[in-house]
């Protein structure tokens, strides 16, 4: 008999034909889950934050993984990691297919990124986050076929106007019109990669400004959808798993993320076709996460456009987190003050 717990694709297939109510059994994730998830991202951020600026991204990531996994075991749900640190043979913890939670409560898909921006953390650069997303079982898009996707993210004003298939200039004019701005006033966030040189030229030729990020396009996507960040859009090619995580947040924020799979080789292209993917299809927010009851939680590790980073002050650790629930449309920014000697013991952080 096949054990689907180690195969997230099989898990999704198992539940994809069920109605949302059946897919989660008799229980749906409820509002109490939100603050439980914040405790998890706080633990990961505090653990990983100890390694900010030390130049070793593996040490930082390892500490955050340990802390996140430890706290996840206390959360009241029956989760399966569908977006994790990798396959079981390459990731000893929080691997794709691993069961997390205390085993009771609702059945959930779980996407983890103990540090979104390990290089940012190692170098002490802005926008590193500890991130966690949860949705009803079988509702997250399976990203296993193609690791990268072309993305377009913007806020609620232009959500029904933009289209990834349109020229960059036209999308920017639509965003500017919807926001009541001039194109020259738009800030477009782009990952600093050689592959984006043509995109950057198009953005600048249209008259808009570019804002580069080294890594961490989950934070960039949320900043593009959230008011008050001075980021109007995110464009370019980034990770497919990060796009799904961001979609869980955008479900609450009311903006839009559109994605189109971007294979990096003929082998990956064929893998996607064999998996039944249409490489010309533009995936919407609802395609990336079909559930209308999903959660997103993040805690800042370094300062950024979205959150303040971890602060260590004598025996206190200060954190800032954001938690969202799409069903209620609730967004909470949580400032935490932790007694270090108690917290480290409680979260089993070394």
Mind listing the domains of the chain with CATH numbers? 25-139+293-346 (3.30.540.10), 148-288 (3.40.190.90)
pLDDT at 206: 98
This prediction's pTM: 0.86
**Exposure letters 148-179 (e unless 16+ CB within 10 A, then b):** bbbbbbbbebbbebbebeeebeebbbbbbebb
Average pLDDT of the residues of the chain: 88
Residue 69 known to bind ligand: no
The alpha carbon of 70 is separated from its chain's Cα centroid by a whole number of angstroms, namely 20
> What integer is the mean pLDDT of 34-54?
94
Cβ count near 305 (within 10 Å): 21
Nearest C-alpha neighbor of 75 from the set 55, 101, 44: 101
- The larger pLDDT score, comparing residue 43 to residue 143, is at 43
**217 marked ligand binding residue:** yes
228 labeled binding residue: no
pLDDT at 248: 96
Q: Is 30 annotated as a binding residue?
A: no
Residue 8 pLDDT greater than 80, yes or no: no
28 is in an annotated binding site: no
> What pLDDT digit, counting tens, does each position of 105-126 carry?
889 999 999 999 999 999 999 9
Confidence of residue 342 (pLDDT cuts 50, 70, 90): confident
Percent of the chain with pLDDT over 90: 75
What residues have CB less than 8 Å from 88, skipping those under 6 apart?
6, 95, 96, 97, 98
3-state secondary structure of 79: strand
**In degrees rounded to 5, what are phi and psi of residue 108?**
-140, 150
* 113 labelled binding-site residue: yes
* The predicted structure's pLDDT at residue 17: 33
Cα(277)–Cα(30) distance, rounded to whole angstroms?
A: 32
Q: Is 194 annotated as a binding residue?
A: yes
Q: Write down the pLDDT at residue 4.
A: 43
**Distance of alpha carbon 66 from the chain centroid:** 19
pLDDT score of 264 more than 60: yes
Q: Does 192 carry a binding-site annotation?
A: no
pLDDT tens digits, one per residue of 159-178 = 999 999 999 999 999 999 99
- Which one has a higher pLDDT value, 143 or 102? 102
Is 335:318 a contact under the CB 8 Å cutoff? Answer: yes
Residue 160 labelled as part of a binding site: no
Annotated binding-site residue? 89:
no
Average pLDDT of 56-79? Answer: 93
- For residue 25, pLDDT beyond 90: no
Q: Is 118 annotated among the ligand-binding residues?
A: yes
């Amino acid at each position: 008999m096949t054990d689907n717990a180690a195969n997230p694709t099989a898990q999704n297939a198992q539940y994809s034909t069920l109605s949302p109510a059946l897919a989660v059994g008799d229980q749906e994730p409820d509002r109490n889950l939100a603050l439980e998830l914040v405790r998890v991202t706080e633990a990961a951020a505090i653990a990983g934050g100890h390694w900010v600026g030390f130049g070793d991204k593996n040490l930082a990531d390892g500490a955050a993984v340990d802390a996140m996994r430890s706290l996840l075991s206390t959360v009241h749900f029956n989760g399966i990691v569908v977006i994790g640190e990798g396959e079981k043979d390459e990731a000893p913890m929080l691997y794709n297919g691993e069961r997390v939670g205390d085993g009771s409560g609702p059945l959930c898909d779980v996407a983890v990124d103990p540090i979104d921006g390990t290089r940012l953390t190692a170098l002490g650069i802005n926008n590193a986050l500890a991130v966690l997303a949860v949705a009803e079982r079988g509702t997250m898009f399976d990203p296993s076929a193609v690791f990268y996707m072309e993305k377009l993210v913007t806020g609620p004003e232009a959500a029904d106007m933009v289209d990834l298939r349109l020229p960059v200039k036209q999308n920017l004019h639509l965003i500017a019109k919807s926001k009541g701005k001039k194109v020259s006033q738009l800030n477009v966030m782009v990952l600093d990669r050689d592959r984006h040189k043509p995109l950057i030229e198009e953005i600048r030729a249209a008259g808009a400004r570019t804002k580069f990020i080294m890594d961490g396009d989950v934070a960039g996507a949320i900043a593009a959808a959230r008011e008050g960040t001075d980021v109007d859009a995110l464009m370019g090619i980034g990770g497919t798993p990060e796009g799904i995580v961001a979609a869980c947040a955008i479900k609450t924020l009311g903006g839009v993320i559109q994605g189109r799979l971007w294979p990096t080789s003929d082998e990956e292209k064929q893998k996607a076709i064999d998996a039944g993917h249409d490489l010309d299809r533009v995936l919407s927010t609802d395609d990336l996460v079909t559930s209308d009851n999903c959660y997103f939680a993040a805690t800042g590790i370094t300062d950024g456009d979205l959150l303040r980073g971890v602060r260590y002050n004598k025996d206190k650790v200060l954190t800032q987190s954001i938690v969202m629930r799409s069903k209620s449309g609730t967004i909470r920014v949580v400032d935490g003050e932790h007694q270090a000697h108690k917290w480290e013991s409680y979260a089993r952080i070394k």
